[in-house]
């Protein structure tokens, strides 16, 4: 049975989409069958992996609101073994549309049930909010990866996210676990970045990934070419970091 992992943090600009795209691609390059679900209305994970979001007929929006099959929304990616369920700007209004629907927090969970066994990993790129779409993602997920930017306000807001996870675990999804905290945009030359890593380790111990994602220009350039960094520049630091992360994730899950 495939493992469903949400990439979530309500703070914007922490590297959620970059992590989602490149972790999913790295897992696929390590011979895992992966589905990346773009649950952010900005659709950056979709366009960053070469999907023309303007021509998409069926997206995560149609699946959530009209209950279209997830299989109808699946698109190919440039990486063998990696498929994508794209997003659409319409997802902005889905929060309001879901409000009066039955089982509104469990609609994403129901979508994944028929396809879950077809993949080793299903990665969900969440939007930077703790709204109903993110609640759906966390209710459907087995675990959550929390990207944390290596900057001064990094830990601000994490307690709110942890509280949301706690509530969802108590009321909607008892199996939800924290897969790990991932330090992103890390610059080893800055004392502050090292302090934040030590602070994270002090607070959360083994829940913090050993891998850190370093600042890297190739990582920023890759999405404009519709490619994950591993295909854009496999020798770059960004590619090496995400491949290390994928290996660490696989190793953690094999040990459980």
238-251 pLDDT, tens digit each: 999 999 999 999 99
Alpha-carbon span 222 to 218, nearest angstrom? 6
Strands (DSSP E) contained in 11-50 are 34-39
Query: Quick one: which of 181, 253, 167, 255 has its CA closest to 211?
Result: 181
Structure pTM? 0.95
Q: What is the pLDDT of residues 162-207, one digit of tens each?
A: 999 999 999 999 999 999 999 999 887 888 888 888 888 998 999 9
Q: What is the pLDDT of residue 256?
A: 64
- Number of continuous H segments (helices) and E segments (strands) in the chain: 12, 7
Alpha-carbon span 111 to 121, nearest angstrom? 15
Q: What angle do CA 19, 22, 24 make, to 5 degrees?
A: 100
- In order of their start, the domains of the chain are 3-251 (3.40.50.300)
Q: What is the pLDDT of residues 4-40, one digit of tens each?
A: 999 999 888 888 999 999 999 999 999 999 999 999 9
């Amino acid at each position: 049975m495939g493992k469903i992992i949400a990439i979530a943090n309500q703070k914007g600009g922490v590297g959620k989409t970059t992590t989602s795209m490149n972790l999913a691609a790295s897992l696929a390059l390590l011979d895992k069958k992966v589905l990346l679900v773009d649950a952010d209305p900005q659709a950056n994970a979709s366009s960053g992996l070469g999907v023309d979001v303007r021509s998409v007929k069926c997206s995560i929006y149609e699946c959530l609101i009209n209950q279209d099959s997830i299989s109808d929304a699946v698109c190919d990616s440039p990486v063998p073994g990696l498929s994508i369920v794209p997003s659409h700007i319409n997802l902005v209004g889905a929060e309001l549309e879901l409000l009066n629907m039955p089982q509104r927090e469990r609609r994403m969970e129901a979508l994944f049930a028929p396809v879950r066994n077809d993949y080793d990993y299903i990665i969900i790129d969440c939007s930077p909010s703790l709204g109903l779409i993110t609640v759906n993602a966390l209710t459907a997920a087995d675990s959550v990866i929390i990207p944390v930017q290596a900057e001064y306000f990094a830990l601000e807001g994490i307690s709110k996210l942890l509280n949301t996870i706690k509530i969802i675990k108590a009321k909607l999804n008892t199996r939800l676990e924290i897969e790990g905290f991932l330090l992103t945009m890390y610059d080893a030359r800055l004392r502050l970045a090292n302090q934040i890593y030590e602070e994270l380790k002090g607070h959360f111990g083994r829940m913090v990934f050993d891998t850190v994602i370093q600042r890297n220009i190739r990582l920023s350039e890759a999405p404009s070419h519709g490619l994950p960094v591993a295909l854009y520049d496999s020798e770059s630091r960004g590619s090496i970091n995400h491949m290390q992360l994928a290996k660490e994730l696989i190793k953690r899950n094999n040990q459980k």
